[in-house]
Structure 1
Amino acid sequence: MITKEDRERVAGWFAGRLPKQWQSAPAEITIDREEITVRLTIPDVDLPKDASDAARAEARVGRAKAFREETRKQRMEIAREAEHRYDAKVSWGLALGDHTELWTHIAAPVMTRLRQPQRMVLDTLVDAGVARSRADALAWCVRLVGQHEDDWLVELREAMASVADVRAKGPATR
């Protein structure tokens, strides 16, 4: 389990390592067992106030593409350092205005055992064309739960972090 202290250490390292000019807000760092995702926020595009929503959306896509290309070499160097330091893959993302992107993020395999009723749910999603495979169907289900239960999941993660902190303060086990 990743502790609050682990998250703070990683976030602190990136806060010190990332160039200030890459950020109009502190980087958002998300960590799990396999991956560290660094989402940068850069200033929004500068367009006339009467620019259409379509023009603004396309300008944001173009700016994100340019930022990705302009920073690639330095991001790869920072990722290599962090991967060596924390033994986890580093992925990158970007936010500007209401546009967000994730780059180079991993899709980690997860083994699970499902009983027939749960497999039938996945098979229904595949048969209906919602997903290409059971794995895609399961990922779709997880995304759906995450969207609809976000507040509950945040509360659960905070509770788990509190338990980890209390355990860390307790007596050492052999």
Structure 2
Amino acid sequence: MITKEQNEKLRGWFTGRLPDDVFESLVEVVVDREEITVIGRVPEPRLAEDVSAAEREAAVRGRIQEFRERTRESRIEVAREAEHRFGKKVSWGVECGGERTLFTHVAAPVMTRLRQPERQVLDTLVAGGVARSRSDALAWCVRLVQRHTDDWLAELRESLEHVQRVRAQGPDTEEVAGSSTGDAEDG
């Protein structure tokens, strides 16, 4: 887990390294063990106020595609530097007109052991056509939990950051692990 300070430094690096004309503003930098995801805001297309929702949606999608193609080379260059510097893959996304779009990003495999009642949940989702496989069903469940527990997860992440700060301020862990409280002889 990355600390708030580490995330701020990472965000600062991207803010300083990205060319000024790439994003209107940097919205978010999210990092985990495998990947750094950089999300920026791009300007909405200028449209008349009376355009239909379909036309507005198509214009936003067009703007996102234009951004992706126009900035590809500079984003690749920044990603290579960041991957070398931070040891993680870099993925990109944008916000435009209230829509968030992620470009190619890491889909990391996660192994888990499930008991029969848990497997039955996944199998029901597959049988019902909600997912193509148990793996898809598990990803669907994680997204559903994430959507309904964002506040709780944010509070948990803050608590974990606090624990990391307290650990960093504590005594040297090697010294503690090497000490012995008992007598070594059986007598």
Task: Calculate the TM-score normalised by the size of structure 1.
Answer: 0.96
Shift of 1:164: 0.8
What RMSD over aligned residues (CA atoms) do the two structures have, in Å? 1.0
Which SS does the other structure have where 2:40 is aligned? strand
Counterparts of 2:83 and 2:43, CA distance in 1: 27
Aligned to 2:108: 108
Report 1:22-61 matches (<5 A).
22-61=22-61
Aligned to 1:120: 120
User: Is structure 2 residue 129 aligned with structure 1 residue 141?
Assistant: no
Identity %: 59
Structure number, greater radius of gyration:
2
Which SS does the other structure have where 1:20 is aligned? coil
**Which amino acid in 1 is paired with 2:39?**
R
Aligned to 1:87: 87
Aligned to 2:169: 169
Counterparts of 1:141 and 1:27, CA distance in 2: 26
Shift of 1:52: 1.4
**Which amino acid in 1 is paired with 2:85?**
R
Over 6 Å off, 4+ runs: none
Any stretches of 5+ residues in structure 1 without a counterpart?
none
Counterparts of 1:166 and 1:97, CA distance in 2: 41
Task: Calculate the TM-score normalised by the size of structure 2.
Answer: 0.90
Counterparts of 1:126 and 1:108, CA distance in 2: 21
Counterparts of 1:4 and 1:21, CA distance in 2: 27
Listed one character per residue, the Cα deviations across residues 69-113 of structure 1 (whole Å, up to 9, x for unaligned) are 000011001000000111111000011111221011111000111
Aligned to 2:154: 154
